Amino acid sequence: MDTAAVAIFLGAVVAVFIVGGLLWAFLADRKRNEDVANDTERMFPDPTAPPADPSDRHGG
User: What counts of helices (H) and strands (E) characterise the chain?
Assistant: 2, 0
What pLDDT is attached to residue 39? Answer: 77
pLDDT for residue 38: 79
**Other CB atoms within 10 Å distance of the CB of residue 29:** 10
User: Which residue, 29, 5, 9, is CA-closest to 17?
Assistant: 9
Q: Is the pTM of this model over 0.85?
A: no
- What is the percent of the chain where pLDDT is above 90? 48
